[in-house]
Every structure is written in C-alpha cells, then in structure tokens.
C-alpha cells in the first residue's frame, strides 16, 4: 500500500481550499541509474477528489509534475466537518486514497 498523503482542507467564505502533498517518486523514465540502465517511468496519472460523496475534481498528470507532488484547488461549498477525499492512480496501477476533515 503506497505511502499516505497529507491533506489539509479549510472552509472560508463558501470556498473549501484543499491542499495536498502526495508521496510519489514521479519518475520520468528519462533518467539512468548507476549501471546505465533507464530508470522506468513511474508516475501518478490520475487524481480525483470528492467532497463527502460527490466527485468534485479530477485531473490527469504526466511525469513533468514534480516529485512528491503538491496540489491545491478550491471546492465551491463545503463546511467544517465535511470530508474531503483524494485519490491517485499511477501508471503501475497502484493507488492511494486519503481523507481529511474540513476545518
């Protein structure tokens, strides 16, 4: 099971600002290791988020997104106590979902 994300969600003036730090190598597939072999590409391809039970955001990423990606977006609505859930899926089919309560 992949490493946990750090999610912060704060509601203010009708907007819930979500900030996520994901734990992922985001390997481009351009690098070579010490023996000269190409380090295979390994990166998050899909990101999605929900507010309680509703899908609110989705994105597709490539390896040009930085290692240990940071992602911030603003949900219209949401209030303290709601749950924000973020999911990523990478090119190996690995996936991770974490939740946080909106403050």
Partner 1 sequence: MIDIERRRALKAGGIFAAFAAAGLLPAGRARAAWNKAAFEGKTVQEALASIGASTTAASDDVQIIASDIAENGAVVPVQVVSRVPGTTQIVLFVEKNPNVLAGIFDIGPDVAADVTTRIKMMQTSNVAAVVKADGRFLASVKEIKVTLGGCGG
Partner 2 sequence: MAARTKVAVAAAACVAIALGFAGVAQEKDDAAKGIEAYRQALKDGNPAELFEMAGEELWLKPAGPRNASLEKCDLGLGPGVVEGAYARLPRYFADTDRVQDLESRLLTCMETLQGIDTRAHVEARFGTPKKDELVALATYVAGMSKDRPVDVAASHPKERAMFELGRRMFFYQAGPHDFSCATCHAQEGRRIRMQDLPYIPAKEGAAAGWTSWPAYRVSAGQMWSMQWRINDCFRQQRFPEPVYASDMTVALSMFMAATANGSTMATPGIKR
19 contacts partner 2 (rule: CB under 8 A): yes
- Phi/psi for 18 (5° steps) reads -110, 130
CA 74 to chain centre: 14
The answer to whether the CB of 8 falls within 8 A of the CB of 18 is yes
**Binder of residue 97, out of partner 1, partner 2, none (CB less than 5 to 8 A by kind):** partner 1
For position 62 contacting partner 1 by CB under 8 A, the verdict is yes
Does 6 sit near partner 2 (CB under 8 A)? yes
By the rule CB under 8 A, 87 interacts with partner 1? yes
Pick 33 or 55: Cβ nearer partner 2: 33
CA gap 1, 12 in Å, rounded: 33
- Minimum distance of partner 1 from residue 80's CB (angstroms): 18
**Cβ pair 43, 65 in contact under 8 A:** yes
Q: Does the footprint of partner 1 cover residue 99 (CB under 8 A)?
A: no
């Amino acid at each position: 099971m992949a490493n946990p994300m750090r999610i912060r969600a704060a509601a203010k003036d009708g907007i819930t600002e979500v900030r996520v730090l994901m734990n992922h190598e985001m390997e481009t597939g351009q690098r070579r290791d010490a023996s000269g072999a190409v380090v295979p590409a390994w990166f998050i391809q899909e990101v999605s988020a929900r507010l309680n039970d509703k899908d609110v955001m989705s994105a597709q990423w490539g390896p040009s997104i930085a290692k240990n990606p940071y992602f911030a977006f603003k949900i219209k609505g949401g209030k303290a106590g709601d749950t924000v859930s973020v999911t990523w899926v990478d090119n190996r089919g690995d996936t991770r979902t974490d939740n946080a309560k909106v403050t």
